[in-house]
């Protein structure tokens, strides 16, 4: 599943700088994660880099974008090519 930034976001930019997928972009009033790009860092880190970097703990799993681990890995591999 992709990730989702909650309304608690203060646009501190910590998550966007850490995203290897470049899936996080500035939106009003909070940042947004593009579910078509987000791979939850499955091939890069043991946990999503944005969640680790977020000082406000406002990034959660998006229940509307459920994906298997294999789908997330494929997204990550496609990014590398």
According to DSSP, the residues that pair with 61 across neighbouring strands are: 3
Please give the domain boundaries of the chain with CATH numbers for all domains. 3-75 (3.30.70.20)
pTM, whole model, 2 decimals? 0.86
Residue 35 pLDDT: 92
pLDDT digits (tens, 9 = 90+) for 36-68: 999 999 988 999 999 999 999 999 999 998 999
Confidence of residue 81 (pLDDT cuts 50, 70, 90): low
C-alpha span between 63 and 80 (Å, rounded): 26
Encode 2-63 in three state secondary structure: CEEECCCCCCCCHHHHHCCCCCEEECCCCEEECCCCCCCCCCCCCCCHHHHHCCCCCEEECC
Backbone angles phi, psi at 74, to 5 degrees: -60, -45
pLDDT digits (tens, 9 = 90+) for 4-30: 999 999 999 999 999 999 999 998 889
């Amino acid at each position: 599943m992709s990730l989702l930034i909650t309304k608690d976001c203060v646009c501190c930019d910590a998550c966007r700088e850490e995203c290897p997928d470049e899936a996080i972009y500035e939106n009003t009033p909070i940042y947004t994660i593009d579910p078509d790009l987000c791979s939850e860092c499955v091939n890069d880190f043991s946990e999503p880099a944005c969640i680790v970097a977020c000082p406000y703990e406002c990034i959660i799993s998006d229940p509307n974008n459920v994906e298997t681990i294999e789908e997330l890995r494929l997204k990550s591999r496609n990014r590398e090519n």
